[in-house]
Amino acid sequence: MSNVLVLVDHTAGKVRKTTAELLTIARRLGEPVAVFIGDGVSDALPVLGQYGATKVIALTNADLTQYLVAPKAEALQQVAAKVEPAAILISSSTEGKEVAARLAVKLDSGLITDAVDVTAGDGGPVTTQSVFAGNYTVQAKVTHGTPIITVKPNAATPEAAETSPEVEEFDVTVSDAAKTARITESKPREATGRPELTEAAIIVSGGRGTGGDFGPIEAFADSLGAAVGASRAAVDSGWYPHAYQVGQTGKTVSPQLYVAAGISGAIQHRAGMQTSKTIVAVNKDEEAPIFELVDFGVVGDLHKVLPAATEEVTKRKS
């Protein structure tokens, strides 16, 4: 069977859930070969094996992590030249998409981004994308070169398929041209203890209707074990950091349950959450467009409804 390259998304060897999803998808297309860049490959190995990586190619050249995306694309190009993969799968993160973009130019290959599903087709992988604020579904395939596909979080449910992959150290060379943009300072964001927005099963988001007080949103989210999101109106008002914005210019999410509180449901916001499995809204305005989308809606003041619901959820869970 042909090899399918999966670029591992990790922090110091701690593998993100999206990588388990990519490996699961890769098994539909061929034999998953994980490409691990940076330190910590021994920590990552058990997880990569658990989800079916048949081999792990480890790249530890320091230039790969000190500079931005360009060296990573060069490295993948060199790995691809050796492995000749049937497809290359990368997470649809900011960095992942830029690596994929550069790689597409280097390999003269077609690129599909933000796939929400990938299946094996006659002439290679067939992707599904959700476009125009989730109003259309597009199925597409790559017709030239090595299909390069970036895949959104939650595109697949990780399925274990135990293997014991060998680690192969691979030497790459990084050109000076790829080392021209550099990170001069990095301030880690304070950990919230909540799930990552794009990976969360449940998200509770607040908008203009919070009036700037995200207390009820966070408390309800915590009672459900959910991530917290915010609408553009709330972010633009400075009430919540941009990293948590859901919508066209923020994150696109597709959780099992999305709770929109005090969010009217403008197209901006819909674009980021319309494909959620179940949608719930709490809003004072019964005319708010968000109610057109919901499975369940409460017309009421979020400052009253959410605290009461939080109390009830906490009681039932204990």
Partner 1 sequence: MKIVVCAKFVPDATADRRFRPEDSTVDRAGVDGLLSELDEYAVETALTVKEAGDAEVTILTVGPEQAADAVKKGLQMGADAGVHVLDDAIHGSDAVATSLILSKALAKLEADLVVFGMGSTDGGMGVVPAMVSERLGLPAVTLGSEVTVEGQTVRIRRDGDTASDTIEGTLPLVLSVSDQANEPRYPSFKGIMAAKKKPVETWSLADLEIAPDQVGGASAWTEVVEVTARPPRSAGTIVTDDNGSGAAELVEFLSTNKFL
Nearer Cβ to partner 1, position 34 or 90?
90
Q: For partner 1, which stretch binds (CB under 8 A), given 17-25, 28-36, 38-46, 65-73?
A: 65-73
- Binders of partner 1 in range 143-202 (CB under 8 A): 143-145, 177, 180-189, 196-198, 202
131 binds partner 1, rule: CB under 8 A? yes
Q: Does 318 bind partner 1 (CB under 8 A)?
A: no
Q: How far apart are CA 86 and CA 123, in angstroms?
A: 11
Token representation of residue 188: 């880690």
Residue 44: count of CB within 10 angstroms of its CB: 24
Nearest-approach distance from CB 285 to partner 1, in angstroms? 12
Query: Could you tell me which of 44, 41, 48 has the C-alpha nearest to residue 6?
Result: 48
Task: Yes or no: say if 222 and 253 are a contact pair by the CB < 8 Å rule.
Answer: no
Residue list 287-316, contact with partner 1 (CB under 8 A): 291-301, 304-309, 312-313, 316
| Residue from the set 132, 159, 160, 215 that interacts with partner 1 by CB under 8 A | 132
224 binds partner 1 (CB under 8 A): yes
| Min CB(312)–partner 1 separation in Å | 4
Q: Among 31, 98, 117, 222, which residue sits at the site for partner 1 (rule: CB under 8 A)?
A: 98
Asked whether 165 and 55 are in contact (CB, 8 A), the reply is yes
Instruction: Report phi then psi at 117, rounded to 5.
Output: -160, 150
User: Which amino acid appears at position 227 of this protein?
Assistant: A
Query: Of 163 and 252, which has the nearer Cβ to partner 1?
Result: 252
Separation of alpha carbons 248 and 235, rounded Å: 13
266 is in an annotated binding site: yes
Q: Assess 285 for contact with partner 1 (CB under 8 A).
A: no
State in angstroms the smallest separation of the CB of 232 from partner 1.
Answer: 8
- Give the integer Cα–Cα distance in Å for 124 and 134: 25
The residue among 31 and 98 lying less far from partner 1, judged by its C-beta, is 98
19 binds partner 1 (CB under 8 A): no
Q: C-beta of 63: minimal distance to partner 1 in Å? A: 15
265 marked ligand binding residue: yes
Residue 34: both structure tokens together: 């994980």
101 binding partner 1? (CB under 8 A): yes
In which residue are the tokens 């999101």 written?
A: 229
Q: Within 10 A of 50 (CB to CB), how many other CB atoms are there?
A: 16
Nearest to 128 by CA among 140, 120, 136: 140
Q: Which of 134, 209, 229, 262 binds partner 1 (CB under 8 A)?
A: 134
Residue at 245: amino acid letter: Q
Q: Under a CB-based contact definition with an 8 Å cutoff, are residues 229 and 243 in contact?
A: no
Site for partner 1 (CB under 8 A): which residue of 115, 233, 271, 273? 271
Which of 4, 35, 41, 257: binder of partner 1 (CB under 8 A)? Answer: 257
d(Cα 111, Cα 99) in Å, to the nearest integer? 11
- Which residue numbers belong to the known binding site for FAD? 208, 231-232, 245-249, 262-269, 283
- Which residue numbers belong to the known binding site? 208, 231-232, 245-249, 262-269, 283
